[in-house]
Chain A
Amino acid sequence: MKDSELNNKLDAFQAPAPSDLLKSRILKAAKPVENTSPKRQSYTQRFMPIAASLLAICAVSFGVMQVQAPTEPDSAAWQEAALDLGFEEVYDWVETEESSSQ
Protein backbone atom coordinates (compact mmCIF):
# COMPACT_ATOMS: atom_id res chain seq x y z
CA MET A 1 0.00 0.00 0.00
CA LYS A 2 1.32 3.40 -0.93
CA ASP A 3 1.43 6.30 1.48
CA SER A 4 -1.10 8.20 -0.57
CA GLU A 5 -3.52 5.27 -0.32
CA LEU A 6 -3.11 5.15 3.41
CA ASN A 7 -3.73 8.88 3.58
CA ASN A 8 -6.92 8.44 1.57
CA LYS A 9 -8.09 5.83 4.01
CA LEU A 10 -7.22 7.96 6.98
CA ASP A 11 -9.18 10.78 5.40
CA ALA A 12 -12.16 8.51 5.19
CA PHE A 13 -12.33 8.45 8.97
CA GLN A 14 -13.06 11.76 10.62
CA ALA A 15 -13.83 12.14 14.29
CA PRO A 16 -17.28 13.51 14.97
CA ALA A 17 -17.73 17.02 16.28
CA PRO A 18 -18.49 17.50 19.96
CA SER A 19 -22.08 18.05 20.99
CA ASP A 20 -23.47 21.56 20.95
CA LEU A 21 -23.93 21.47 24.69
CA LEU A 22 -20.31 20.76 25.52
CA LYS A 23 -19.22 24.37 25.59
CA SER A 24 -21.98 25.46 27.93
CA ARG A 25 -21.33 22.40 30.08
CA ILE A 26 -17.69 23.39 30.46
CA LEU A 27 -18.52 27.04 31.16
CA LYS A 28 -20.99 25.92 33.80
CA ALA A 29 -18.40 23.67 35.41
CA ALA A 30 -15.73 26.37 35.40
CA LYS A 31 -15.68 27.78 38.90
CA PRO A 32 -14.55 31.35 39.38
CA VAL A 33 -10.81 31.29 39.68
CA GLU A 34 -9.26 33.11 42.60
CA ASN A 35 -6.58 35.56 41.68
CA THR A 36 -3.24 33.81 41.85
CA SER A 37 -1.51 36.66 43.64
CA PRO A 38 -1.98 36.18 47.36
CA LYS A 39 -4.80 38.27 48.71
CA ARG A 40 -3.72 41.19 50.84
CA GLN A 41 -4.54 40.30 54.36
CA SER A 42 -5.92 42.91 56.65
CA TYR A 43 -3.77 44.26 59.47
CA THR A 44 -5.80 42.33 62.04
CA GLN A 45 -5.58 39.08 60.07
CA ARG A 46 -1.83 39.40 59.67
CA PHE A 47 -1.07 40.05 63.32
CA MET A 48 -3.71 37.84 64.86
CA PRO A 49 -1.48 34.73 64.91
CA ILE A 50 1.41 36.68 66.43
CA ALA A 51 -0.85 38.17 69.12
CA ALA A 52 -2.27 34.76 69.91
CA SER A 53 1.24 33.31 70.22
CA LEU A 54 2.35 36.11 72.54
CA LEU A 55 -0.75 35.65 74.67
CA ALA A 56 -0.09 31.94 74.96
CA ILE A 57 3.56 32.56 75.92
CA CYS A 58 2.48 35.07 78.60
CA ALA A 59 -0.08 32.67 80.01
CA VAL A 60 2.46 29.84 80.22
CA SER A 61 5.10 32.11 81.75
CA PHE A 62 2.66 33.37 84.37
CA GLY A 63 1.73 29.83 85.26
CA VAL A 64 5.38 28.83 85.62
CA MET A 65 6.10 31.88 87.78
CA GLN A 66 3.19 31.03 90.03
CA VAL A 67 4.48 27.51 90.52
CA GLN A 68 8.03 28.61 91.14
CA ALA A 69 7.21 31.59 93.46
CA PRO A 70 8.95 31.12 96.84
CA THR A 71 6.50 30.32 99.57
CA GLU A 72 6.72 32.55 102.58
CA PRO A 73 7.74 30.65 105.66
CA ASP A 74 5.16 30.71 108.38
CA SER A 75 5.56 32.89 111.45
CA ALA A 76 6.66 29.98 113.68
CA ALA A 77 9.65 29.43 111.43
CA TRP A 78 10.52 33.11 111.50
CA GLN A 79 10.21 33.16 115.27
CA GLU A 80 12.47 30.14 115.58
CA ALA A 81 15.02 31.78 113.31
CA ALA A 82 14.92 35.00 115.36
CA LEU A 83 15.38 32.95 118.53
CA ASP A 84 18.42 31.20 117.03
CA LEU A 85 19.96 34.53 116.03
CA GLY A 86 19.25 36.20 119.35
CA PHE A 87 16.80 38.71 117.94
CA GLU A 88 13.78 37.40 119.78
CA GLU A 89 12.97 40.72 121.39
CA VAL A 90 13.25 42.64 118.18
CA TYR A 91 11.06 40.09 116.45
CA ASP A 92 8.43 40.25 119.16
CA TRP A 93 8.53 44.04 118.99
CA VAL A 94 8.07 44.09 115.21
CA GLU A 95 5.35 41.47 115.20
CA THR A 96 3.52 43.16 118.05
CA GLU A 97 3.74 46.54 116.31
CA GLU A 98 2.43 45.07 113.05
CA SER A 99 -0.45 43.29 114.69
CA SER A 100 -1.42 46.32 116.72
CA SER A 101 -1.23 48.62 113.68
CA GLN A 102 -3.49 46.33 111.69
Chain B
Amino acid sequence: MLTTPTINSAGVSDPDADLIFGLKSGDEKALSGLMDRHMVSIHKMAYYMLGDQMAAEDVTQTVFLKTWENAGNWDAGRAKLLTWMRRVTRNACLDILKKKKPIYTDSVPELEDTSNSPFESLSESQQSERVEAALSKLTENQRMALTLSYYQSVPQREGAQIMDISESAYESLLVRARKALKVILTNENDGG
Protein backbone atom coordinates (compact mmCIF):
# COMPACT_ATOMS: atom_id res chain seq x y z
CA MET B 1 0.00 0.00 0.00
CA LEU B 2 1.28 3.47 -0.84
CA THR B 3 2.14 5.50 2.19
CA THR B 4 3.11 8.83 0.72
CA PRO B 5 0.75 11.14 -1.11
CA THR B 6 1.36 11.33 -4.83
CA ILE B 7 1.57 14.57 -6.72
CA ASN B 8 -0.79 14.76 -9.66
CA SER B 9 -0.25 16.61 -12.90
CA ALA B 10 -1.81 19.73 -11.45
CA GLY B 11 0.90 19.77 -8.83
CA VAL B 12 -1.50 18.98 -6.01
CA SER B 13 -0.87 16.19 -3.59
CA ASP B 14 -3.72 13.81 -2.98
CA PRO B 15 -4.11 13.07 0.72
CA ASP B 16 -5.98 9.90 -0.19
CA ALA B 17 -3.18 8.48 -2.31
CA ASP B 18 -2.37 5.99 0.43
CA LEU B 19 -5.79 4.40 -0.01
CA ILE B 20 -5.96 4.33 -3.78
CA PHE B 21 -3.78 1.27 -4.21
CA GLY B 22 -5.90 -0.63 -1.70
CA LEU B 23 -9.10 0.48 -3.41
CA LYS B 24 -7.74 -0.60 -6.76
CA SER B 25 -6.86 -4.03 -5.48
CA GLY B 26 -10.28 -4.47 -3.89
CA ASP B 27 -9.16 -4.16 -0.27
CA GLU B 28 -12.21 -3.47 1.88
CA LYS B 29 -10.00 -1.94 4.56
CA ALA B 30 -9.15 0.82 2.12
CA LEU B 31 -12.85 1.44 1.51
CA SER B 32 -13.44 1.48 5.24
CA GLY B 33 -10.58 3.95 5.68
CA LEU B 34 -11.95 6.16 2.95
CA MET B 35 -15.33 6.21 4.67
CA ASP B 36 -13.72 7.09 7.98
CA ARG B 37 -12.19 10.11 6.28
CA HIS B 38 -14.96 11.36 4.05
CA MET B 39 -18.31 9.75 4.78
CA VAL B 40 -19.53 12.51 7.08
CA SER B 41 -18.39 15.21 4.68
CA ILE B 42 -20.02 13.58 1.66
CA HIS B 43 -23.20 12.95 3.61
CA LYS B 44 -23.36 16.53 4.79
CA MET B 45 -22.82 17.85 1.28
CA ALA B 46 -25.70 15.69 0.07
CA TYR B 47 -27.85 16.80 3.00
CA TYR B 48 -27.26 20.49 2.30
CA MET B 49 -28.30 19.86 -1.29
CA LEU B 50 -31.30 17.63 -0.63
CA GLY B 51 -32.45 18.54 2.88
CA ASP B 52 -33.36 14.91 3.47
CA GLN B 53 -31.47 12.50 5.71
CA MET B 54 -32.47 9.30 3.92
CA ALA B 55 -31.78 10.69 0.47
CA ALA B 56 -28.43 12.03 1.67
CA GLU B 57 -27.52 8.58 2.99
CA ASP B 58 -28.52 6.98 -0.30
CA VAL B 59 -26.34 9.45 -2.17
CA THR B 60 -23.46 8.77 0.21
CA GLN B 61 -23.79 5.06 -0.44
CA THR B 62 -23.90 5.65 -4.19
CA VAL B 63 -20.76 7.78 -4.04
CA PHE B 64 -18.71 5.27 -2.07
CA LEU B 65 -19.87 2.33 -4.13
CA LYS B 66 -19.02 4.17 -7.34
CA THR B 67 -15.62 5.00 -5.94
CA TRP B 68 -15.13 1.38 -4.99
CA GLU B 69 -16.27 0.02 -8.33
CA ASN B 70 -14.34 2.53 -10.42
CA ALA B 71 -11.14 2.63 -8.39
CA GLY B 72 -9.46 0.34 -10.89
CA ASN B 73 -9.80 2.98 -13.58
CA TRP B 74 -8.68 5.83 -11.33
CA ASP B 75 -6.13 8.10 -12.94
CA ALA B 76 -4.33 9.77 -10.06
CA GLY B 77 -2.90 12.42 -12.32
CA ARG B 78 -6.23 14.02 -13.15
CA ALA B 79 -7.68 15.16 -9.85
CA LYS B 80 -7.84 14.47 -6.15
CA LEU B 81 -10.01 11.54 -5.21
CA LEU B 82 -12.15 13.64 -2.89
CA THR B 83 -12.75 16.18 -5.66
CA TRP B 84 -13.99 13.39 -7.89
CA MET B 85 -16.18 12.04 -5.08
CA ARG B 86 -17.68 15.46 -4.51
CA ARG B 87 -18.41 15.67 -8.18
CA VAL B 88 -20.17 12.31 -8.07
CA THR B 89 -22.10 13.58 -5.05
CA ARG B 90 -23.17 16.65 -6.95
CA ASN B 91 -24.35 14.60 -9.92
CA ALA B 92 -26.21 12.14 -7.72
CA CYS B 93 -27.94 14.99 -5.91
CA LEU B 94 -28.90 16.66 -9.17
CA ASP B 95 -30.33 13.37 -10.43
CA ILE B 96 -32.51 13.11 -7.34
CA LEU B 97 -33.59 16.74 -7.60
CA LYS B 98 -34.49 16.24 -11.25
CA LYS B 99 -36.68 13.28 -10.39
CA LYS B 100 -38.48 15.39 -7.83
CA LYS B 101 -40.67 18.15 -9.10
CA PRO B 102 -38.38 21.13 -9.44
CA ILE B 103 -39.41 23.50 -6.75
CA TYR B 104 -36.39 25.72 -7.12
CA THR B 105 -36.20 28.36 -9.78
CA ASP B 106 -33.33 30.38 -11.10
CA SER B 107 -35.17 33.59 -10.39
CA VAL B 108 -34.74 34.29 -6.74
CA PRO B 109 -35.84 37.85 -6.13
CA GLU B 110 -32.84 39.99 -5.48
CA LEU B 111 -34.30 42.83 -3.46
CA GLU B 112 -32.37 45.60 -1.84
CA ASP B 113 -30.75 44.47 1.35
CA THR B 114 -31.86 47.12 3.82
CA SER B 115 -32.28 45.26 7.05
CA ASN B 116 -29.50 44.74 9.48
CA SER B 117 -31.42 43.02 12.21
CA PRO B 118 -30.61 39.33 12.56
CA PHE B 119 -33.09 37.12 14.28
CA GLU B 120 -31.38 37.06 17.59
CA SER B 121 -34.71 36.63 19.27
CA LEU B 122 -35.24 33.28 17.66
CA SER B 123 -34.11 30.10 19.30
CA GLU B 124 -31.18 28.21 17.87
CA SER B 125 -33.35 25.49 16.38
CA GLN B 126 -35.70 28.04 14.86
CA GLN B 127 -32.76 29.83 13.30
CA SER B 128 -31.44 26.55 11.95
CA GLU B 129 -34.82 25.72 10.43
CA ARG B 130 -35.07 29.13 8.82
CA VAL B 131 -31.62 28.90 7.31
CA GLU B 132 -32.39 25.43 6.00
CA ALA B 133 -35.61 26.69 4.46
CA ALA B 134 -33.80 29.67 2.99
CA LEU B 135 -31.12 27.44 1.48
CA SER B 136 -33.79 25.31 -0.12
CA LYS B 137 -35.07 28.39 -1.93
CA LEU B 138 -31.78 28.98 -3.68
CA THR B 139 -31.20 27.51 -7.09
CA GLU B 140 -29.47 24.16 -7.16
CA ASN B 141 -26.25 25.70 -8.46
CA GLN B 142 -26.28 28.50 -5.89
CA ARG B 143 -26.90 26.01 -3.11
CA MET B 144 -24.13 23.77 -4.40
CA ALA B 145 -21.64 26.61 -4.61
CA LEU B 146 -22.51 27.81 -1.12
CA THR B 147 -22.31 24.29 0.28
CA LEU B 148 -18.91 23.69 -1.24
CA SER B 149 -17.53 27.06 -0.35
CA TYR B 150 -18.99 27.65 3.08
CA TYR B 151 -19.81 24.29 4.58
CA GLN B 152 -17.08 22.23 2.95
CA SER B 153 -14.38 24.92 2.76
CA VAL B 154 -13.53 23.83 -0.76
CA PRO B 155 -11.09 26.17 -2.51
CA GLN B 156 -12.53 28.18 -5.37
CA ARG B 157 -10.58 26.34 -8.05
CA GLU B 158 -11.69 22.96 -6.80
CA GLY B 159 -15.26 24.13 -6.41
CA ALA B 160 -15.30 25.25 -10.01
CA GLN B 161 -13.86 21.90 -11.03
CA ILE B 162 -16.55 20.02 -9.12
CA MET B 163 -19.29 22.12 -10.68
CA ASP B 164 -17.69 21.96 -14.10
CA ILE B 165 -17.69 25.72 -14.55
CA SER B 166 -15.04 28.38 -14.77
CA GLU B 167 -13.59 29.91 -11.63
CA SER B 168 -15.10 33.28 -12.45
CA ALA B 169 -18.52 31.71 -12.98
CA TYR B 170 -18.16 29.91 -9.67
CA GLU B 171 -17.20 33.13 -7.94
CA SER B 172 -20.16 35.04 -9.33
CA LEU B 173 -22.44 32.15 -8.45
CA LEU B 174 -21.25 32.40 -4.88
CA VAL B 175 -21.84 36.14 -4.79
CA ARG B 176 -25.36 35.69 -6.15
CA ALA B 177 -26.04 32.86 -3.71
CA ARG B 178 -25.03 34.91 -0.70
CA LYS B 179 -26.97 37.91 -1.91
CA ALA B 180 -30.10 35.85 -2.57
CA LEU B 181 -29.79 34.18 0.81
CA LYS B 182 -29.52 37.52 2.55
CA VAL B 183 -32.64 38.71 0.78
CA ILE B 184 -34.60 35.57 1.64
CA LEU B 185 -33.57 35.63 5.27
CA THR B 186 -34.23 39.35 5.57
CA ASN B 187 -37.67 39.06 4.02
CA GLU B 188 -38.59 36.14 6.24
CA ASN B 189 -37.36 38.03 9.24
CA ASP B 190 -39.39 41.07 8.27
CA GLY B 191 -42.42 38.96 7.48
CA GLY B 192 -42.55 37.18 10.75
Contact = CB atoms under 8 A, between A and B. Distances in A.
Interface stretch (A24-32, A68-76, A85-93): A24-32
A16 B178 CA distance: 22
A16 B52 CA distance: 10
**Do most interface residues of chain B lie in helix, strand or loop, or is the interface mixed?**
helix
A27 B32 contact: yes
Nearest to A12: B127
B122 to A, nearest CB: 9
Contact of A9 (B32, B65, B127): B127
Contact of B57 (A13, A19, A34, A35): A19
A21 B131 CA distance: 28
Contacts of B155: none
B124 A12 contact: yes
B60 interface: yes
Interface in A16-50: 16-19, 22-23, 25-27, 29-36
A18 B39 contact: yes
A36 B23 CA distance: 11
A77 to B, nearest CB: 73
B73 interface: yes
B23 to A, nearest CB: 8
A9 B185 contact: yes
A23 B47 contact: no
Q: Chain A interface: which size bin?
A: 20 to 34
A33 B57 contact: no
A1 interface: yes
B65 A29 contact: yes
A36 B113 contact: no
Nearest to B116: A1
A26 B69 contact: no
Interface of B: 24-26, 28, 31-32, 35, 39-40, 43-44, 47-48, 53, 56-57, 60-61, 64-65, 68-69, 71-73, 113, 115-116, 118-119, 124, 127-132, 135, 146, 150-151, 178, 181-182, 185-186
26 contacts: A1-B113, A1-B116, A1-B182, A2-B116, A3-B178, A6-B178, A6-B181, A10-B151, A12-B128, A13-B127, A13-B132, A15-B43, A15-B56, A16-B53, A17-B44, A18-B43, A22-B57, A22-B61, A23-B35, A26-B60, A26-B65, A27-B32, A32-B26, A33-B69, A34-B26, A35-B25
